[in-house]
Each structure stands twice: as C-alpha cells, then as structure tokens.
Amino acid sequence: MKMRSVTPMRIAKIGYIIMSILFCVAGILFIVRPEMSTKIMGICIGVAMILFGVVKLVGYFSKDLFRLAFQFDLEFGILMAVLGIIVLLDAENLMAFISVALGISILLDGLFKIRIAMDAKQFGIGSWWLILALAIVTGAVGAVLVFDSVFGAKVLSVLLGISFLSEGILNLCTVISTVLIVKNQLPDVIIEAEGFETTEQDE
C-alpha cells in the first residue's frame, strides 16, 4: 500500500517555523528601531505577508495528521498574500492601510488560534493552554493596532513590532505543538473508506 508523502507536511512545518522566527526578528527590529523609514517598514511587512500567505497555503494542502494548525489557512493564506501585494504597490504611502490590514489579520489569526487551542485540548495536546493564552494576547494586540490613528509614527512602529513578535511566537508554538508528521500516514481516501466501513459495521 502506497503511503502519503510527508514532504509537503515537512515543507509546511519548516516554512512555518522559519517565517515565525522571521516575524519575531522583524518585531524586535521594529521595537528597537522605531525611527525606521515607513517605506522600508512597508516593504518588509508586504513581503512577510506574501511569504507567510504562501506558507499557509502549502500548510493547508499538506494534510497533516491532526489537521489543527493549518485548518483555516486556505482563506487566511489567500487574504495575507493579497494584502501583502497591495502593500507592496505603494509601501511608503499606505502605512495607515498597512497597520489596519495587519491589525485585522493578526486579530483574525488570534481568534482562529483560540479555536485551534480548543480543538487541541480535545486531542489531548498538553500545550493547548499556552496556544490559547498566546492567541488571546495576539488578538488583543491586533485589535489595538487597528486603531493606530491615535498614535504617532514611533509608537506605531513599536506596536507593529509587538504585533509581529506576538504573531511569530503564537505561530511557532502552534506549529511545534500541533503539527505531527507521521511517515506511514495513509491517504485520505483509504482512511475515509475504512471509517465508512467501520460505521456500517457498527450499525
């Protein structure tokens, strides 16, 4: 019996980890260098959103064992990639749009991760509470970022940094805790067929 290839899952998991670390690095950079030009910040954010959107799409189609970390990544990956492209079109003059778009994206991701944490609890994953706590904090930071108009440029840079840092930590924790790669995983068709047969026998 031919087993499913784990290559897409491995690529998705490694990609998630790398992008999460890059988000953390970018967050720290924004915090310690709040005087950075808006153009550079916009370009960094646009590129990061596009790359992470692509990684999320790869994760969604990788069909990992638990189907937790990537379950909402089809829609969210497309959204992030599209927003990233829009940001790159005029990175210097779109800071207001960037902060709102990024804030909404991070808020939504925090809400999705709350659902993932609840599902992880049902699966018996011990670190579900950590994902839940980080998701709540990240969602709150995203909500604050949406209302950036009351802040100055330097404060906005720090808020962007905190947002990137919290998002990176959240995704890193989620992917490490919930993405399990099993070398001998059966294809979905076989699993579904076996499940159907079991159901019929139970009846």
pLDDT in tens, 26-83: 899 989 988 777 778 888 888 988 998 998 888 888 776 666 777 888 888 898 899 8
| Burial profile 65-88: b = 16 or more Cβ within 10 angstroms, e = fewer | ebebbbbbbeebbebbbebbebbb
Average pLDDT of the residues of the chain = 80
| DSSP character at residue 66 | S
Q: Is the pTM of this model over 0.85?
A: no
Q: What is the DSSP letter of 34?
A: T
